[in-house]
Amino acid sequence: MKTEYQVRPVTRYIVTRYEQATTKDELFNGPSQSSVVGEFASGQQADLVACAMAVCDRADGIESSRTRHGLSLGEVISGQRIEGEV
């Protein structure tokens, strides 16, 4: 019998929602909170979900934006950011 152990990199993209208090009432109830929206196999999928969430929040009158942290493998190789903030 022969065995081999391999280590392979796995990249997942997690979309989180970070809520920050902006009024005195909100500060009284807690200054901020974070929750996980979902985990995705590609950065493109995660970007689409995060953008859609921000658009829905703005439609509901909530000040909302989408930021992207870190670089994808393609961005590391090319040395360029593929997408900016929405």
Q: Would the pTM count as exceeding 0.85?
A: no
Q: Quick check: 54 and 22 in contact, CB under 8 A?
A: no
Q: From first to last of its 86 residues, what are the pLDDT tens digits of the chain?
A: 787 887 777 778 889 998 887 777 777 777 678 889 999 988 788 888 988 999 999 999 988 888 877 666 666 666 665 655 44
Separation CA 38–CA 48 (nearest Å): 12
